[in-house]
Structure 1
Amino acid sequence: MPKLIDRDERRAEIAEALWRIVLREGVSGVSVREVAGEAGISVGSLRHVFADKSELLEFSMRLIYERVAERVKTHGRVRDPLRRAEAILAELLPLDDNRRVEMHVNLALLTESVAHPGLAQAAREAYDGLRGLCVAVLTELRDQKVVATSVDVDSEAIRLHALIDGLAMHLLLDGTDSPARARRALRDHLHGLRAT
């Protein structure tokens, strides 16, 4: 008996097919027909799940953010606040093949957001989410007295957000910084905020 695939799983499989096309050909290679072929389904089956290309692009972008959020949640039980902060923030960096794929695809889709309001909205929500995560991490560290109570969380969140974005770009450029060096830079930054 063939395995039944639920709607969410089917949508994710189609989005991952789109990711593969983006990695090979860029967003210009994405069409409903190409994605259907990559996913091994008919165009009609794809259109049953996604009404049009714009909806497919937006879902594919949001799926990246959902997966990052799921990984972030897995670190909630790390007891040491500083280690927990580092583990959470490291999920935002392309430190392995899966995260590199997500980051490459996200950047490619981000460049398309000028012409696609849904992508622009998703990107803005992700930006706000990342800034909010930086604020939450720093607030917890301050509340736990790991960083000085005098730290301006909003200003530090801007710096931390910029550090994460910069490290992510460095990691995407082959031959620049290694995952180990990026992790150390993140760790050093957080340790530099420690209360004396």
Structure 2
Amino acid sequence: MPRRIDTAERTDTIATAALRVLERDGLAGLSVRGVAAEAEIAAASLRRAFPTQHALREYCFEVIEERATVRIRGLDLSGRALAEGILAQLLPLDAERRTELVAQVQLGILALTDEALRPAAIRLGDGVERACRAALTVLDAARLFGTHRDLDYETQRLRALLDGIAMHGLWNGEPESSALMLTTLARHLDELSRPEGSERS
């Protein structure tokens, strides 16, 4: 007798399959048939969970944020290590995080011209920004954030850096790129703790 699959498990299976399809085949592969085949479920089961393609795309954004949030909440670190750990969850440092970032990029491009999908893309971007602010707040609590620095500005600057090095890591793909991403991030956090003007000396 086949095992019954509950709704939450089926939804997670579909979402995981959708992210894999986006990484491998791009938006063109994100169809009911393609995702159902990847998830090894009937197309009818997929349609019950996600009646429209928009619902599936929107849920992919939610899953990416949810997975990063779970990883961040599971960090058993403090101080500088915690700040670095938070930010590392948003970089393509392993297969899971790479898949999430590729899917995010694919869907983000679509959201530029799909007004219905844009709010989901913005919510995910806001989540990245909150993670950057959380990392800086951790540094501040550990007295590793310069007193002269503006938290709002540095949050925006950190997000821009994080986005940039994430994309470089995505394109490079070699094992060395992981070390480079982490080194670049660490040097930026070092700079944030220095007295005003010292980084220019």
| Fold shared per TM-score above 0.5 | yes
Superposed counterparts of 1:45-60, under 5 Å: 45-60=45-60
Percent identity of paired positions between Structure 1 and Structure 2: 39
Report Cα offsets for 1:9-63 as digits up to 9, x if no partner: 2111112222232223210122212222222222221111111111011112211
- 8 Å Cα contact 2:91/2:97 also seen in 1: yes
Letter of the structure 1 residue corresponding to residue 67 of structure 2: R
Give distance in 1, aligned partners of 2:82 and 2:173: 29
- 2:65 aligned partner: 65
Q: Unpaired segments of 5 or more residues in structure 2?
A: 196-201
- 2:126 aligned partner: 128
Q: Unpaired segments of 5 or more residues in structure 1?
A: none
Give distance in 1, aligned partners of 2:138 and 2:19: 35
TM-score (norm 1): 0.90
- 8 Å Cα contact 2:84/2:186 also seen in 1: yes
* Number of equivalences: 194
Report Cα offsets for 1:144-168 as digits up to 9, x if no partner: 3222222111111111101100010
Q: Which runs of 4+ in 1 moved over 6 A?
A: none
Superposed counterparts of 1:1-196, under 5 Å: 2-75=2-75, 77-79=76-78, 81-174=79-172, 178-195=177-194
Select between 133-142 and 146-155 the one with higher mean Cα deviation: 133-142
SS of 1:103 mapped into structure 2: helix
- Deviation at 1:74? 1.4
- 8 Å Cα contact 1:145/1:195 also seen in 2: no
Give distance in 2, aligned partners of 1:146 and 1:2: 56
- 8 Å Cα contact 1:143/1:149 also seen in 2: no
- 8 Å Cα contact 2:65/2:127 also seen in 1: no
TM-score (norm 2): 0.88
